[in-house]
Structure 1
Amino acid sequence: MKNFVQAGDVITLTAPYAVTSGLGALVGSIFGVACGDVDNGAEGEFQTTGVFDLLKVGSQAWTVGAKIYWDNTNKYCTTVSTSNTLIGVAVAAVGSGAGETTGRVRLNGAF
C-alpha cells in the first residue's frame, strides 16, 4: 500500500508544555504518554495506545471499566467528564485514599 505512513501507536507531536517521560500530555485533541522528556514547544514521541500507570486524583476511587478523562489544567487523570478529555478506561480498581495517586489506564487511541 503506497499511502501507508505508520501504525500510529507512537507519533511525533509538539509538546504544549514541558512533559517528563512517562507522563501524559494533551496536544489539541490527541492524548499521549511521553516516551522521553520533551521541552515545551519541542517535538517528541508520544505513545497513544496501550496500558499505562498514570497520575490520578487521590480522592477518587476507580472501578475496572470506568471512563477516564484527562484534566489538562491539573495534568492528571480523573473520572470527571466535565471540561475534560476522554482518554480511555481504567483496567484496575484503585481506592480513594490520599496516597492512591496512580491509576492503570488503557488508552483509547481515538480522538
Structure 2
Amino acid sequence: MAKNFVQDGRLLDYINNTGAAIASGQVVAIGAVLGVAMDDIAEGESGVIAIEGVFTVPKVSGAVIGQGQPLTWDVSAKAFDDAAATAATGDITGPTAFAAEAAGNGATSLAVKFTGVPGTVKA
C-alpha cells in the first residue's frame, strides 16, 4: 500500500462544529459536498460522513422528482428539492447528489445517490 494513503475517500472523518448534535443518517454539508452521518456525532466530536452511496433522506413534500434528476439541497427545509426549485442562500445544487428513484408530490423521502463531487453553494 502506498505510504501516503490516508483513508478510503468514500468515507471522511468529520469534526462536528455545527453548534448542534448530528444524528445518524442526517445529511451533512462539508463545504459544497453533501454526505450522510454514519453515526450520531456530538458537537465538537469527530465522526464519519459517507460522501458516496445511496441513502433514503428527506425530500420537500411538494417536489416531483424523476429518477436520475439533479437535486437541490434546501438548507432551511433540511430536505432535497427538484433542481428547478429556486435556490436560496446556502442551498447546494449541482453534481453532489441526484435522485436514485422517482418520488412524487406528497412523498417526504427518497433514495439519493451521493457522488462525492462538489456542488455549488448559493451565495
What TM-score, normalized by structure 2, do the two folds share? 0.79
Hey, what's the Cα distance between the residues in 2 that align with 1:96 and 1:41?
37
Q: Is the 8 A contact 1:25 1:75 kept in 2?
A: no
Q: Does 1:25 align with 2:3?
A: no
Match for residue 37 of structure 2?
34
Q: Does 1:76 align with 2:79?
A: yes
Q: Which stretches in structure 2 are left out of the alignment for 5+ residues?
A: 119-123
Q: CA deviation at 1:51?
A: 0.5
Hey, what's the Cα distance between the residues in 2 that align with 1:108 and 1:81?
22
What is the DSSP-based 3-state SS (H/G/I as helix, E as strand, rest coil) of the residue aligned with 1:51? Answer: strand
Matched length: 109
Report 1:50-69 matches (<5 A): 50-69=53-72
Q: Does 1:105 align with 2:108?
A: no
Q: CA deviation at 1:7?
A: 2.0
Q: Which stretches in structure 1 are left out of the alignment for 5+ residues?
A: none
What TM-score, normalized by structure 1, do the two folds share? 0.87
- Higher mean alpha-carbon deviation, 24-33 vs 77-86, is at 77-86
Q: Is the 8 A contact 1:26 1:72 kept in 2?
A: no
Q: CA deviation at 1:108?
A: 1.4
RMSD: 1.6
Q: Is the 8 A contact 1:19 1:37 kept in 2?
A: yes
